[in-house]
Structure 1
Amino acid sequence: MGLNENILKEFIPEAGVTKSTPDVATGTFEVDNSAGLQVLKVVPVSDSNVPFEDLQTTPSCNPFDDLDTSTSCNLSDNDLDEDYVPTPKIRKTSLINAATPKKSTATGSSSKRRQPSGIPKHILAYRALEILKKLDLKAYLLDDVCSAHIVRKFDELGGLSESDRSTIVNVQQNFYCQLLQCSLFSPPTSVQRNFTGKLPNRIRNIRYWLSKSGGSITTSASTSSCVTDCSEFTEPAELKGTTDRNDADLSDAINSLNHTSLDSWPVILEHWSTTHTLRRHELENSTTGVNEYRKWDVLKTSNGHLLLSQDFNELYPGRENLLISQWALTRKHIISLAKRDTPKTDLETRELIERVDSLPEGQQQDILVLSILVSPCCKRGRGNSGVALPLPSTARKAFIIHVKTANDVSRTLREHVATLRSKNQSFQPSIVVVGPSLAEISASYVQIDDERYHMRTPLAAVDTCFKAFFALDAKYPTDAYPHPENNPEAHPINVPNEQFDQRDNLGNNADLIDNHDNAVGAAVNYEHPHQLSVEEFKLALYKSSLSLSARLYANPALNRTRVQEILDLTSDFAGAGFLDILKTKTLSMLQDYNGLQSDVDDLKLMFESMQSSLEGLDTEHMRMNALRDNKCYIDPKQFYIGEGETFKYVNGQKTRVPIDLHGQYISMPKVLQCFFSLPGVFQSTIDYVEKLKTSQDFTNIIQGQLWKSIEERLFVNRQVFPLVLYFDDAEPNNQTGSHSTDHSLGCLYYFIPCLPQHLLSQLEYVFVAAVFLTDHQKRRNSETFRCVLNDLKKLETEGVEITGGLLTLRIFFAVVLIIGDNKGVNGITGFTESLRNQVNYENDLLVNDVSLSGIKRECVWNELGSYHCTNNVSFDCMHDFYEGICHYDLSIILLDLIENNFFSLQTLNERVQFFDYGLDSGNKPTIITLEHLRREKFKMSASEMNCFARNLGLMIGDLIPEGNVCWSLYLKLISILDIVTSPFVDTTAAPYLATLISEHHEIYRNVFRKTLKPEFHLIVHLPRIMGLIGPLLHVWCMRLEAKHRPVVKINANSQPCRNNLPLTTAKRYSLSLAAKFLSAQSFPDSIVFHSEESLLENCETYQSLQHVLPNSYLACSQNVKICGTTYEKEMVLAVKYLNDLPVFGKIECFVKPTVNTDMCFFVLKLYLTNGFNEHMHAYDVTVSEDWPFVSYPELLSFYPTSCRTGSDGLSYVTFRHTL
């Protein structure tokens, strides 16, 4: 057993005066190199009988030789197996002061002492300690009666009790006291500054010898401890030339490690191996392993983790590849263990196990296997000390930190460090994986202190992190231990101030190549705040100021003049003088605490920078240039439409003069390139597309026949996404004012229909292509849309390149639909009315008579390879149903019912006004008048008409006798709406839909004697159109019309000027895009829980529902937002089918998982469905005593609804689409 600091601690006293032992003499040490072996002799000054005279320095390889006397040892049966790798040594405190001490003076030194050799002191100390470490203590322990049986017990059991360890310590003390020819002493009752006694005198003499030879021994005293390094001494006379030469080589190796480039990596590896023992000695005698880690600059390079792995190989040779080589067998054992020992209440781990079984062997399965290992290793309840044991979710996060997007890595780590510090814990080497879910990991990292190493696979990250714990003598995270009370302290690696750099935007596109073989890895460097330079601070301040400017420009309610005023006021505020007061106070405190002058000067410059925080961004021109430099601002381009005329005063007379007509367009390739370069956007989109291709449910346009034909015809073996164009006129002025049509803008928008479904309704993912005055576009489609057509052709043939890291992708885009109201779409496609096919379209073009053919001009969009106006047909439910057919049908139905005295108009309005709309309360219909009914036009928006039509059955159904032929028209209409507004398409229901439409038209013509309107002709084609393009709900104009508000209306209202309104509108939109691209934010989280959470056992209804809950320690939330839909208590959800009827449940509470926050569970109070009331078009339900516990994916439909009480006292549930 070697002499180490823990052994010294047991017999070197704490601060105080020693006991006097006059019968013991002092002695000297010398090293005998005869016979090729180093032998340490202790030669007493007054006695020639030397105990332990021939202690030979044979190193021991028994595990007992490295026994740590400062802590308990808990070893399992496998600890002494040949493949066992012991845990890192764990120490309570450090006894060695790493700082180089000042030379102490002593009297009585010999004039024959050798002068310092010039070799660094710490190397000489290290060489001296190596001699002492080779003393064989085990032989002495076996000879001692008290300790011999303890050694044998350790060999048999692999562990020691506390009493046995105390005995070993006492034997060690006796051994070293005899060796040093001195005796123990105990601390006094009062602290004294001068120590007396044999041992302190002996240490002073040794320290004197080392000071003469260039070595050192450090003694530091305080009120609580006397720390003495007795390991760094040797006889200077015995330092031979060979030792000097080896020590000189060691010194050269140390210098080279901090001044060597990566180009000479083999040299670095050689020097790193040479210095291993010295670095190990310094690490073992350091209170914080991180200080030793930071001193080696070579560890901060991209290859630093390889050096830590080499240290592990030096400590445990032959075991460096055990994890990788035996992983296949280990993986099977982990899966078997998890299936057997994971509790049924651990739903998250159970789900992970199911996902493991469904995945093939590979990287995706590996990370899931490592994650499920946590649950069977975690005990439930509390430990022996009464401390709550970690939940599997907490332990899993301590083991592997999962981040959804690379852009959030730094923020997540900062939050993790803050959480650890709140628990008085330190940040240790950690594994970080990046991906939308644990089954979709795109990048793996190992975070050590402030260095982040990019690893090739998650398994490689685990292997590297494991080796780093041993190489750095770090401690495992507390939450990763199954028994926290048995987790002793070790060298903590503390991350200062949680300053994980926010600038490391690792574009997720770099992580798309899962099989990318990057053996070296890549470290992401960032600075500590106390090391932050003035220039770096100025850069951070500049970026923050630019972000502030972009966010102000993105607010449509602020015109650019107001933005300038706000920034000017901000600049004046920063220079108002309060920063001078703060600077004076801060600098004064630094001087009082003897702060470094360089730090004081840097702080002065930083305060001066804050006073001029907008320097370089003072004017709009400078801000625009800054945004362009950051490649986030796309300048609108002016395009020529044609010539027009206006009136101007020439020489005092009003004269008609010609002018050029222009519009503005924003480059579509640049916008799409910037958008898909945002972190996680491309990966999330392509994952969703692949999911759709393998899904059996028809829910998206890319699953339709139209897109499949385009893809097969033009884009074989190329990555292509569809585009949908939307055109409409927007009125910036008051629509009822005198200038209501003077400045109407034609707006061409586009969106990507294959984005994740819950994002399609968010306006920020609808982009502006072109803006122009409506009057300028008339009869000039070719000129008006020429720039957009050129961009679309380029997107079809050339695509855009997206570069991230080592990856470059080319993505193509193709127009699949052009949508809008009938007037807008027919106008830009050259039609007047009616649908046709490609053959009769060509014939009508040859006729060249609009009165006969209905074709005004050839469709300019037919120039695109993916589009033809007769093939790429669409239908808009908003305009054709809620602003068309519903008005025609409901007006004549209600008028007929009123005239037949089933109810009065007053009764109708009372039912409308006092109806319980529930979730639709924001779309409450307005008062109905006879004029509305006779004109067949209600004063309702599309959303209000949708609400009115769906709830009309519950409003007045009880007043109408069953079988009424007039009411049957309403039932046909609402049945058609249920199908065409469904989020999925049932292709087998196409004949049924065609029958419903035919019967609807027959009743409308025969019963009410009405002629069919154009919208009635359009819906005849719905079964065919839905088979081509999928659910109409995802391509209707309801949300797209809302884009007019931020782009046109709010922007126009913020400024009175209407000169060149298209340019103003395009610039403001480009600035809003710049703010989005500058923020580099990915898609929002799909699940967001309410901030106020509580334990389930504290919920009001816990007693009623506890029997369905896995445990009472789960958190419940007030509400939750999932995929853009907010769910609250009392809402009703469709859960499942039972006896061919949907089963509903009322939400009682939301359960937040402890592990996977991408999952939400609902505790529901179940309704039993008695049947479907066709007359009221609602489900008749009654409350049951069942309380199902349902996860979000298990729901029959994701749309919430309400349960209402009808006039007959029964409970009814209406749903927005067919189930």
Structure 2
Amino acid sequence: MEWKCKLCIVSADTRAQLFRHYRLKHSHYSRVSPLPCLHDSCICTFLSFNALKIHLSRFHRDVCRPSASHTAQAERAAFTCSVCNLKQPFSQETLFTHLRGHLKKRETITCPFKNCNYSTNVYSSFNTHKSRIHANSSDFSDEIVSTENATVNAADLDYEDNFLSQHADSFDNPEDDSVCDSSQLRAQLRHNLSSLFLKMQTVLHVSDMATQEIVDHLSQIFSLSQPLIRDTVKETLQRHDISITEATLNDLVNEVMNTNIFVSATTKGEEMSTKKRRKKFVEKNFPVVKPVQYELEPGCRVAYVPILQVIQEMFKHTDILERIKETKVSQKGHYTSHQDGLYFQKNNLLSSLELSLPIVLYIDDIEIANPLGTSRKIHKLCSVYWVLADLPLKYRSALHVIQLAAICKVPDVQKYGYKTVLRPLLQDLCTLEQDGVFIESLGQSVQGTVLCVVSDNLAAHALAGFMQSFRAGHICRFCNATRDQILSHEVGDGEFCLRTKASHDRNLLTVMQGDQSHSVVGVKGDCVLNESLRHFHTTTGFPPDILHDLFEGIVPVELALCIQEMIRLKYLTLEGLNRKIMSFQYENSDKVNRSRPISKTFARKRSIGGNGHENSTLLRLLPLMIGHTVPDGDGAWTILMDLKDIVELVLSPTFDDESIDYLKTKIQDHRRLLQEVFPEFRLLPKHHYLEHYPDLRRCFGPLVHLWTMRFEGKHRFFKRVIHDTQNFKNVVKTLATRHQHMVSYYLSAPSFFKPHQQASNVSSVLVSVLPDVAQQYIRQKTDSSVIYSTSNIILDGTMYDVGRFVSVGQEGGLPQFSRIEQILLVNSDVMFLCREHKSCYIEHLRSYKLYPGNLTVNNILELNDSLPLSAYHVEGQLLLTPKRYIQLNRK
């Protein structure tokens, strides 16, 4: 039987050989590229080499297969939980892990040992009782642990818990191993050591000074251990009646010391002994694209990372091309990616080629110093990132996939302009558009261009050449609306002329020929990308940003406005609302993104503040917190619920023409009700931008694919680097160099992206104890009497947990929901054993009331939406409020 590595093209004759290949080649990248199980039928992945080793010993025990007599009828132990009636193959570890899971939920359990009636719902009390009363006992109650006859394969038998300690080392047996050339092994170990140093610096953010301290102290420890090695070698030789001279013994000890890769590589004068030498070694042996630094004038520097070279290095990784091919155009009237948008389809370069490179740029300012300190704004930087648009969203949301293009100080941009600062980037983009970049794996050049520029409104207007004031004049880059006009006219009225390529070019020509100190319909000058690229235009290249328009714009303002009104009407008090916010039992990701208490000055500030995540969570969960205290038909409450509907629609990653029309109607109704309930309220420019969203969704595709949320997460890397280095001497070079070293670490990993499926903590389950509906499904897939179960699994970057809800099916045009009871792994398939819940939509709360039903089996393809949800018990009801609009699965 041939064993193949899932991370590279290597194959082996035995599992032991493949196991050692994992340990040598891939274990040091396990955090970046999780180690998959060696067996093709197992989907488990692991973040450490030791976890993989334990898994193989526990679930794939081929290395110590029992005799053939054990493959017939065998007595198998199983335990039955008295709390949830779960029946599962028995081992002490599995039993107590399951019982402690109930204790963590404060559920009462009974002691599983025979003739013991102790019960408790306190985790620590159970552990104390077990250690004091049943320390060495293995006599379990017959009601808890029983045996049954079953025909099982040898590999399915469950051995004693001490199997791991007895047989784990059998993987390391050098027998049946291919001979490895010592020079190749030495080179690989040196690569592993340099990879460790690179990881410490760029991923773990260990400072250079700390790294050098570690190297120096470890080298000293190894050096001081030489006498111990000498004594050990001498005693070993004497034990085998071998006598050698002192000179030979000393020479032998020196050779043993030199075989230690850490000692030989970090000895004074060697290639990894100092920071400078380690950097040189990395740049020579890793795919590092060095940033190019050029000076605008003495002291004014810009660091640029050559985009063409980065693309070439990225495509040397086979993962990139495979993932790009996953993006496909949807059927007419449906939108799932940028390729379904009108702007992509009308781009003569991108839409005409079988393979092209559409690039999404991002530009923003980043404050790397303490914003409250004396150095604020002194080191404020302008950063330009980019990402390949054809990568599916589930892959390009990873921060290491977002690449750095250029970085410089904001005062330099203000002084010299984008055209001067971004000159090298613009030159490379022109080359990419006209000649393309040679992709070695394809043996040809591939052309591409900038699809769009993602940014907040201020940066978009600055780069695009529009007015940067939003208090007066023409404030919209999509039409010719002025600040005063948006108060009395809607976009749907047809009063505003949309900006087109022809009209913008005419306005731009007027500006260039006239007095450039004034604007024409908001146009101040040309966009540098528009000047340089043939297939990019200002009017089609700057999409709106959901984060700044909604979650950091409209949502906090309208929340403040409506909460103030509800407090005035005495539906609630600020203190009561803050108590609800703090005491609410948040679940899963809502715990991380929970809102902070609202400030007492929110009415004066006309905003509740907070970041985008917090405002999104508060708007979504507010109906569950205070909805029962607000009467039906209240104007302020209806405004917030309509806004909630709009947010859900905008966040949807897939939609059709029908949902676009529905969004347009909701936005119009929301604006009119807002002006009716609060006639004194002055609409924000972002309210006007929101009215363009329906049409812009048809043009750009899903706007949630082009928001700034993930790009802003990239800032954290640079802030962390400055925090660790405290080096402001040449900050742009420091940041760009460190970033490129980080990218090289990920590019050198066996896989640039996370695997499609990730599960590690699995347990065996008897098929016979599963519900009939699950047994029927499993028997179609396998004849095994034992399968695996897990409490959580990651599919395409989304985590599914037992207890969470997924949307499956529909009834009467409403989505139905199911609670995940068990996640079962059948060969390489993932199935959810779910409890159906009938749903009833509560208009006042914009939430679904759930009623439990029958058990069903579902797979990922049957879900209406891939995002799992949490349900909350409120006022005796089980309520679920979605995070985004659920497009019903009509397959």
Change (3 A) 1:1090 1:580: same
1:1034 aligned partner: 705
Change (3 A) 1:496 1:964: closer
- Contact 1:556–1:1050 (Cα < 8 Å) also in 2: no
Q: Which whole-Å deviations, capped at 9, do the CAs of 1:1009-1062 have from their partners, x for residues lacking one? A: 12221101111111111112211222111121111111x211111133322211
1:561 aligned partner: 209
Residues 453-532 of structure 1 aligned to structure 2 (within 5 Å):
528-529=179-180, 532=181
Change (3 A) 1:417 1:666: closer
CA distance in structure 2 between the aligned counterparts of 1:933 and 1:1096, rounded to whole angstroms: 60
AA at the equivalent of 1:922: V
Instruction: Give 1:947 shift.
Output: 0.2
2:293 to 631, 638, 641: 638
Task: Give yes or no for the alignment of 1:1072 onto 2:738.
Answer: no
AA at the equivalent of 1:909: N
1:158 aligned partner: none
1:839 aligned partner: 502
Change (3 A) 1:860 1:602: farther
CA distance in structure 2 between the aligned counterparts of 1:1007 and 1:721, rounded to whole angstroms: 49
- Name which of structure 1's ranges 941-950 and 618-627 shifts more when overlaid on structure 2: 618-627
- Contact 1:574–1:613 (Cα < 8 Å) also in 2: no
Q: Which whole-Å deviations, capped at 9, do the CAs of 1:843-872 have from their partners, x for residues lacking one? A: 333233435543333110112223111122
Provide TM-score, normalisation by structure 2. 0.72
CA distance in structure 1 between the aligned counterparts of 2:69 and 2:19, rounded to whole angstroms: 21
Instruction: Give 1:438 shift.
Output: 9.9
3-state SS, counterpart of residue 443 of structure 2? strand
Task: Give yes or no for the alignment of 1:885 onto 2:487.
Answer: no
Q: Which whole-Å deviations, capped at 9, do the CAs of 1:676-699 have from their partners, x for residues lacking one? A: 21243322322x13x456798522
2:82 aligned partner: none
CA distance in structure 2 between the aligned counterparts of 1:590 and 1:784, rounded to whole angstroms: 72
1:868 aligned partner: 537
1:752 to 388, 400, 422: 388
Change (3 A) 1:578 1:871: same
1:1215 aligned partner: 882
Q: Which whole-Å deviations, capped at 9, do the CAs of 1:283-320 have from their partners, x for residues lacking one? A: xxxxxxxxxxxxxxxxxxxxxxxxxxxxxxxxxxxxxx
2:197 aligned partner: 549
AA at the equivalent of 1:938: I
Instruction: Give 1:1102 shift.
Output: 7.0
Instruction: Give 1:945 shift.
Output: 0.2
- Contact 2:306–2:428 (Cα < 8 Å) also in 1: yes
2:304 aligned partner: 665
2:671 aligned partner: 1001
Task: Give yes or no for the alignment of 1:1204 onto 2:843.
Answer: no
1:406 aligned partner: 8
2:568 aligned partner: 899
CA distance in structure 2 between the aligned counterparts of 1:872 and 1:595, rounded to whole angstroms: 80
Change (3 A) 1:883 1:497: closer
- Contact 2:349–2:448 (Cα < 8 Å) also in 1: no
1:854 aligned partner: 522
- Contact 2:230–2:253 (Cα < 8 Å) also in 1: no
2:273 aligned partner: 618
1:787 to 424, 444, 449: 424
AA at the equivalent of 2:365: D
AA at the equivalent of 1:1217: R
Change (3 A) 1:701 1:975: same
AA at the equivalent of 1:728: D
CA distance in structure 2 between the aligned counterparts of 1:699 and 1:571, rounded to whole angstroms: 55
1:1134 aligned partner: 807
2:462 aligned partner: 827
- Contact 1:1136–1:1196 (Cα < 8 Å) also in 2: yes
Change (3 A) 1:628 1:1146: same
Task: Give yes or no for the alignment of 1:968 onto 2:638.
Answer: yes
Change (3 A) 1:564 1:853: farther
Q: Which whole-Å deviations, capped at 9, do the CAs of 1:1065-1097 have from their partners, x for residues lacking one? A: 111111212222333433221211132423256
> Pairwise CA RMSD of aligned residues?
3.8
AA at the equivalent of 1:1216: K
Q: Which whole-Å deviations, capped at 9, do the CAs of 1:454-489 have from their partners, x for residues lacking one? A: xxxxxxxxxxxxxxxxxxxxxxx999x99989x9xx
2:284 aligned partner: 629
- Contact 1:886–1:945 (Cα < 8 Å) also in 2: yes
- Contact 1:405–1:680 (Cα < 8 Å) also in 2: no
Residues 375-414 of structure 1 aligned to structure 2 (within 5 Å):
401=3, 403-406=5-8, 409=11, 414=16
CA distance in structure 2 between the aligned counterparts of 1:905 and 1:1196, rounded to whole angstroms: 38
CA distance in structure 2 between the aligned counterparts of 1:484 and 1:586, rounded to whole angstroms: 50
- Contact 1:723–1:815 (Cα < 8 Å) also in 2: yes
- Contact 1:407–1:679 (Cα < 8 Å) also in 2: no
3-state SS, counterpart of residue 613 of structure 1? helix
Instruction: Give 1:808 shift.
Output: 2.3
CA distance in structure 2 between the aligned counterparts of 1:1216 and 1:1042, rounded to whole angstroms: 20
1:706 aligned partner: 343
CA distance in structure 2 between the aligned counterparts of 1:717 and 1:606, rounded to whole angstroms: 59
Query: Highest relative contact order (Cα 8 Å, sep 6+), 1 or 2?
Result: 2
AA at the equivalent of 1:894: I
3-state SS, counterpart of residue 888 of structure 1? helix
CA distance in structure 1 between the aligned counterparts of 2:846 and 2:292, rounded to whole angstroms: 53
Provide TM-score, normalisation by structure 1. 0.54
1:371 aligned partner: none
Task: Give yes or no for the alignment of 1:674 onto 2:307.
Answer: no
Change (3 A) 1:1063 1:579: farther
Task: Give yes or no for the alignment of 1:1015 onto 2:678.
Answer: no
CA distance in structure 1 between the aligned counterparts of 2:387 and 2:425, rounded to whole angstroms: 14
Change (3 A) 1:1150 1:721: same
1:931 aligned partner: 601
Gaps of 5+ in 1: 1-397, 420-433, 440-476, 488-494, 502-525, 644-658
Gaps of 5+ in 2: 22-35, 42-63, 73-152, 154-169, 468-474, 478-498, 887-891
Task: Give yes or no for the alignment of 1:685 onto 2:358.
Answer: no
CA distance in structure 2 between the aligned counterparts of 1:1119 and 1:1035, rounded to whole angstroms: 29
AA at the equivalent of 1:916: Q
Instruction: Give 1:985 shift.
Output: 2.1
CA distance in structure 2 between the aligned counterparts of 1:766 and 1:889, rounded to whole angstroms: 33
Change (3 A) 1:697 1:1095: farther
Q: Kindly name which structure, 1 or 2, has the bigger radius of gyration based on alpha carbons.
A: 1
Residues 304-343 of structure 1 aligned to structure 2 (within 5 Å):
none
AA at the equivalent of 2:317: L
CA distance in structure 2 between the aligned counterparts of 1:960 and 1:1173, rounded to whole angstroms: 14
AA at the equivalent of 1:1021: H
- Contact 2:333–2:656 (Cα < 8 Å) also in 1: no
Change (3 A) 1:677 1:927: same
Change (3 A) 1:975 1:415: farther
Instruction: Give 1:882 shift.
Output: 0.3
Instruction: Give 1:830 shift.
Output: 2.1
1:808 aligned partner: 443
CA distance in structure 2 between the aligned counterparts of 1:1190 and 1:593, rounded to whole angstroms: 68
- Contact 2:234–2:249 (Cα < 8 Å) also in 1: no
Q: Which whole-Å deviations, capped at 9, do the CAs of 1:660-685 have from their partners, x for residues lacking one? A: 52110111112221122124332232
CA distance in structure 1 between the aligned counterparts of 2:383 and 2:12, rounded to whole angstroms: 40
CA distance in structure 1 between the aligned counterparts of 2:863 and 2:345, rounded to whole angstroms: 29
2:851 to 1182, 1185, 1190: 1182
Change (3 A) 1:986 1:626: same
3-state SS, counterpart of residue 294 of structure 2? strand
Percent identical pairs in the alignment equals 23
Change (3 A) 1:569 1:801: farther
- Contact 2:451–2:536 (Cα < 8 Å) also in 1: yes
CA distance in structure 2 between the aligned counterparts of 1:409 and 1:810, rounded to whole angstroms: 32
3-state SS, counterpart of residue 918 of structure 1? coil
Instruction: Give 1:704 shift.
Output: 1.8
- Contact 2:652–2:884 (Cα < 8 Å) also in 1: yes
AA at the equivalent of 1:819: V
